[in-house]
A and B are shown apart, each in its own frame.
Chain A
Amino acid sequence: MDPLWNNIFRKKHDEDSLAYFLNNLPMFAELNGRELNVLEKMVHVRNYGVSEFVFEEGDPGTGMYMIRSGGVSILAKNQQGTDDELALLGPGDFFGETTLTAPAPRSATARTTEQTELIGLFRADLLELVERQPTLTSRILIGLTRIVSERLQTASQEIRNLNKLIGEQLPTEIVET
């Protein structure tokens, strides 16, 4: 096909567009082109330097971050007061999604490991969107709920396994406490 016409019949979103990136995230996979355009205007693109804090443990948490490029390490304080690395996240990963609907202090610290571009989605914007575009908001929330539920199920399973492990090792002490 002629390259001039190619441009008109191109795919809905360029591969390096923000909408394309968002569509590839599991929670926004169900959104159509128009909805992605709205979402694109709603999120905030932030650029971080090397080893910059995104947030620290105990900070007010009001939204989630998605990593477009770079890397973020999730840290939590241990009993000695030093930081333990819980996870190292890369492009396409996201974190902080639990505070998007229920505001709470951050339970861990997030710090970039290299030059990083983060996409922030915050509760205030979502609450505003509920009134303007209820359908779109429900779709976003359903996608989000699915992710949170999956994580919750995994966590519950893990707790059950751990309990079983502890129960096998120290049955009497658990009963006493």
Chain B
Amino acid sequence: MKDYQPSRRGWTRGQVLLAFLILTSAIACGLAVYSSATTFIGVTRTAFSVLFLPLLLSLVLAFLLEPPVAKLSNYFNRTSSIFIVYLLVLAIFLVSTLWLLPQWQELWGNLTTDIPRYTAKLTEFLRQLLENLHNRFPVFESYDLPSKVRGWGEQLLAAILTSTPQSAMKVGGLFVIVPLFTFFFLRDGKAIMRALTAMAPNRHFEMAHDLSHLVTRQLGHFVRGRILEAIIIGLVVTLGLSLTDIRYASILGIFAGVTNLIPYIGPIIGMIPGILIAFVDLGVGPQFWWIVILYILIAQVLIDNFILIPILISRVSNLHPLWVFFAIIAGGKLYGVIGMIIGVPIVSIIKIAALEIRTYRRTFRLPETALDTERQY
């Protein structure tokens, strides 16, 4: 019996965990300092940042397509069911592209004339507002907001015109890489997870295995819920907008859907272009108010808050607004606009994983602690 003693030297599991955390954070700090000084890490980081987005998108897509593939693999083998799902997705994609293409072309053609028009209208509105303000508070006289806004508008237009061909190239690349990655994630995802958990040491293998399953399931729910929510919001906004005379209804709807992925801030950003265009093109009238009501009351309050979020997304994955802001700012700093959109989901994913691990530990601690409290009383 005595030879087993050295492996259990009076360290409780909490202490071991603490030591482990301190060690890993020390190593992480060391690495961070080191990485700023070496080119090797810089190179790997560049490679990783190139792969990061396609990998993430493929994972999301794999989570999204997993249920239909699983359904189909009851009838066909897995590879052919993936191909069938791919064909279906391709068909949906082609149909929606055919439907959207004329609108995109119109938007692209009008962009150079429209954005100056919208910003001119906005600056005009702001100038009137400021004149009103100046009359009451002369202090603001020196601050020239309208010209600033005009400057922003010009910058935005320039940015869109120059970066669209660039991002089109990037997106084109994604269209090749993402389906490929997704295919392998769908086909070999389980084997990959198995291989990863198999690397865990014997003593922790069982827990690692169970946790990987729990976390994967939660993640699947979360990703599917978020994407479905965005799609439904996009459809509702598109439908609501196409009832009015507003232009670009479908594009505004897609924009609202995509920005809806960011909690708190996303919906506000998503409604700005729609309301701006409605304000300029349609003027303040019944249609304008219908659009405002559509964005705020129908899409956000009614559909999203009362129907979709309770059904699709568990309250567990809700982040504190502060974390949301951190995630958006950090994501924007790291990966630009795309980083802003994916920052919050990534932080939510980390939170889900942490929560899952905590509840797991608590579930198994429960009988012991219950016994302990019984003894105390």
Contact = CB atoms under 8 A, between A and B. Distances in A.
B202 interface: yes
Contacts of B368: 58, 105
Given A82-B1, A103-B363, A105-B364, A123 B210 contact: yes
Interface centre among A44, A51, A61, A63 (most CB of B within 10 A): A44
A163 to B, nearest CB: 24
Contact of B203 (A53, A58, A83): A53
Contacts of A46: 202, 205
A44 B210 contact: no
A79 to B, nearest CB: 15
A92 B368 CA distance: 32
Nearest to A133: B74
Interface residues of A, number: 30
Instruction: Tell me whether chain B's interface is mostly helix, strand or loop, or mixed.
Output: helix
Contact of A124 (B73, B203, B209): B209
Interface in A103-151: 103-105, 111, 120, 122-125, 127-128, 131-132
B213 interface: yes
B206 A60 contact: yes
A122 B209 contact: yes
B310 interface: no
Nearest to B205: A46
Given A58-B368, A60-B360, A104-B367, A122 B74 contact: no
Interface centre among A53, A123, A124, A127 (most CB of B within 10 A): A124
B210 A124 contact: yes
A54 B202 contact: yes
B198 interface: yes
A20 interface: no
Interface in B194-230: 194, 198, 202-203, 205-207, 209-210, 212-214
A94 interface: no
Contacts of B203: 52-53
B4 interface: yes
A95 interface: no
Nearest to B368: A58
Contacts of B372: none
Nearest to B366: A105
A124 B213 contact: yes
Contacts of B144: none
B94 to A, nearest CB: 31
A18 to B, nearest CB: 15
A9 to B, nearest CB: 27
B374 interface: no
Contacts of A122: 206, 209-210
Contacts of B360: 60
23 contacts: A44-B194, A44-B205, A44-B209, A46-B205, A48-B202, A51-B4, A53-B202, A54-B202, A59-B206, A60-B363, A62-B207, A62-B209, A62-B210, A104-B367, A105-B367, A111-B4, A123-B210, A124-B212, A125-B213, A128-B213, A131-B70, A132-B70, A132-B73
Interface of A: 44, 46-48, 51-55, 58-63, 82-83, 103-105, 111, 120, 122-125, 127-128, 131-132
Top 10 A-B pairs ranked by shortest CB distance? A124-B213, A60-B364, A62-B210, A105-B364, A124-B210, A48-B202, A122-B209, A46-B202, A105-B367, A62-B206
